[in-house]
Structure 1
Amino acid sequence: MDCKDIFNTSFVHSALLHAKLMIDMGIWSGIERHKFDSWCHQFEGETDRIILALLLKSLVYRSKEQVRALLFQAFDRGIPQKLFELTGDEDVFEKMKLLQKHSGIPKNVLIVPVIRDCESPTKSGPLVARLFKKVININDKIMKWPWNLGEIKDVETIIFVDDFVGTGNQFLKFCEHHMQGDIFESNINFIYAPITANKEGLDNIAKSNPRIHLCPIEIVSEEDNFFNAIEKEYSLNQGQSKELEVMYMSFLEKVDLHKIGQNKGKMVKGYGGLALTYVYEHGTPNGSLPILWANNNKFTSLFSR
């Protein structure tokens, strides 16, 4: 039995129907129906439609409201719980609430978005900073851009905020660039609180810099890899799994995405080969499959990067 027998026309129809229902009901808010239909029409052949259906079945979509809920979870529970574990201070939950007020602000806490110097205002670092200000109502006085960290004085806790961690390499480069001198030799509590993190990336950070205390809200792993998840859910054998990858690569070649990435194909399964199907309404991590976020003159993506 090949993939065409397992994922037949009925399977494809069901996946499309479910996706349209999620959009029409507003559960996948931010996805415009006409844009969705146009994206789907690019998958023309039988095997292309199977890839489309499996992408839709595997899609993890976080709307603005869901991201809002995740931010509140991070701020109200995740971060103060981590601080309590580090300090033993039972009042830390109440102290964190002061960060949302314009008086009585703890001067010994800083929130720093993970951002590169050259990153534009539309990228994830500045966007997460704006979300913390708007959603959590964080006071500007405790937010600090990373390139100003050399000015810090009398700080007990630095909380780095981010939306996604893939391999962890980008965050480690961020630390290397902005955390100069002997800052990691100080008594400062360093907390990294990404909204979503890949387990392997967390392990990489923990091994490379034990001073960083990790506080992700959602965790993904190899089990969330598109190909691994499909193989497990539908009990594919080795031959069927290989066929699925061939179908996927054939579609990438058709739309000229098979050489995506600086090293001619390095990104065909997303950054670090993570092959995720994880998307925020505000943007898509580059660890997700490029079919979801890449554009060229032959293909228009459904989501933005």
Structure 2
Amino acid sequence: MIVANNFFATHNAEIDELVQKFRGYWSDIDRYKVIAWIQQFDRDHWELALKLLHKVDYYSPSRVIREFREIHAQLLVTLGRNLNNTYFCSLTPPGKSGDLMLPLYRQASELRHNRYNAMFIHVSDLPQFHDQSGIRFVFVDDFIGTGNTVIKYWENLQGFLTNAQEVCLLVLAAYEEGIEKIEQFSSLNIITNRRLSVNEKIFSESCTLFTREEKEILKHYCEISGNSWPEGYGECQSTIVFFHRAPNNTISI
């Protein structure tokens, strides 16, 4: 107990910094939760656990809005700064990640006024546009890992989008392999300001966040966590955590 107290006393400022970092997470994170999480590791690995928390790529609500503001600027360039006949929609069903992202995107894009209400629709509204031409749809979501989920939703919606002039998908972050797969199997135009390469896969040789020894230790903890995908779904090995969820592509610990 004395050793533990000494460790956390020594790293008191760091722990407070982490509490501030994860502000806005759906489940409040205080210093006691940070300490309890670190204590799940063997004592010899507490320093590494602390380092991992610092390396988590966390998207707070304010960061999400800031990133969407930049993505909206890209969208305007893509659409020639003309939003006529453009409709914004969550890619996912109600209650899923995209449904949570749409209001934040609307805030970031400054399309909050009531006069823009008709531009924001639900997936269930898509059939009414089936016979209309010249329509542009902009779907919003948070993350692309393998691309499999997006392709599944695309296949379900394709019958309603046959006459669309343009179909875009805005995401906060996306792995390049997922983007390539989506572009191969759909006509979605992916717009993101964060393209993730193999360098962002925590256990890859080219990732410089941790040493080879540290990676082996962290991989061991992922493997004993009991999660079906220790390295994240599709072995994406992501360290991204959003304020509302950690994608299943993120490592299990």
TM-score, reference length from structure 2 = 0.80
* Cα offsets for 1:265-294 (capped at 9, x unmatched): xx1101110111111222222111111xxx
Cα separation, 2, equivalents of 1:58 and 1:230:
16
Between the aligned partners of 1:231 and 1:150, the Cα distance in structure 2 is 45
Residue ranges of structure 1 left out of the alignment (5+ in a row): 1-11, 85-91, 97-105, 262-266, 292-305
- Tell me the secondary structure at the aligned position of residue 275 of structure 1: coil
Structure 1 residues 161 and 289, CA gap change in structure 2 (3 angstroms): same
- Three-state SS of the structure 2 residue aligned to 1:73 is helix
Residue in structure 2 matched with residue 281 of structure 1 by the alignment: 243
CA distance in 2, matches of 1:147, 1:248: 43
Q: What count of residue pairs does the alignment treat as equivalent? A: 236
Aligned residue number for residue 82 of structure 1: 78
SS of corresponding position for 2:146? coil
C-alpha distance in structure 1 between counterparts of 2:145 and 2:120, whole Å: 24
- 1:177 paired with 2:145, answer no
How far residue 204 of structure 1 moved from its aligned partner, in angstroms, is 1.0
CA RMSD of aligned residues (A): 2.8
1:126 corresponds to 2:99 = yes
Give identity over the alignment, percent: 20
Residue 196 of structure 1 deviates from its aligned partner by 1.2
Deviation at 1:140, TM superposition (A): 2.7
Q: Which residue of 2 aligns with 1:151?
A: 128
Q: Aligned letter for 2:42? A: E
What is the one-letter code of the residue matched to 1:220?
A: L
What secondary structure is seen at the aligned counterpart in 1 of 2:141?
A: strand
Alignment-derived partner of residue 92 in structure 2: 115
Q: Describe the SS at the equivalent of 1:29.
A: coil
SS of structure 1 residue aligned to 2:203? helix
Q: Does 1:189 align with 2:187?
A: no
- Amino acid of the residue matched to residue 77 of structure 2? Q
CA separation of 1:180 and 1:222: change in aligned 2, threshold 3 A: same
Q: Structure 2 vs 1, CA of residues 56 and 114 (structure 1 numbering), >3 Å: closer, same or farther?
A: same
Deviation at 1:69, TM superposition (A): 0.6
Distance 1:74 1:132, change over 3 A: same
Question: Which string of whole-angstrom CA distances, capped at 9 and with x for unpartnered residues, describes residues 251-272 of structure 1?
Answer: 346xx524x22xxxxx110111
1:73 to 70, 89, 97: 70
2:119 matched residue in structure 1: 142
Corresponding residue number in structure 2 for 1:44: 42
1:23 to 18, 35, 51: 18
CA distance in 2, matches of 1:113, 1:205: 17
The AA in structure 2 aligned to 1:20 is I
Residues 35 and 46 of structure 1, relative CA distance in 2, 3 Å threshold: same
Question: Do the aligned partners of 1:129 and 1:161 also contact (CA within 8 Å) in 2?
Answer: yes
Q: Select the residue among 36, 57, 61 that pairs with 1:64.
A: 61
Q: 1:101 corresponds to which residue?
A: none
CA contact (8 A) 2:143 2:171 kept: yes
- Structure-2 residue corresponding to 1:257: 225
Conserved 8 A contact 2:222-2:231: no
Paired amino acid for 2:239: T
Question: Given that residues 113 and 125 in structure 1 are in contact (C-alpha distance below 8 angstroms), is that contact kept between their aligned partners in structure 2?
Answer: yes
Unaligned 5+ runs, structure 2: 1-6
Q: Is the 8 A contact 1:147 1:178 kept in 2?
A: no
Residue by residue over 1:187-224, the C-alpha shift from the partner in whole angstroms, topping out at 9 and shown as x without a partner, is 51111111111111111111222x22121122222111
State the Cα distance separating 1:228 from its structure 2 match.
Answer: 2.4
Contact 1:168 1:202 in 2 (8 A): yes
Read off the aligned partner of 1:213 and give its amino acid letter.
Answer: N
State which drifts further: 127-136 or 169-178. Answer: 127-136
- Separation (CA, whole Å) in 1 of partners of 2:209 and 2:156: 42
- d(CA) in 2 for partners of 1:288 and 1:171? 17
Matches of 1:124 and 1:142, distance apart in 2: 20
Residue 67 (structure 1) shift: 0.9
List per-residue Cα deviations over 1:166-193 (Å, max 9, x = no partner).
Answer: 1111111101011216x34x35111111
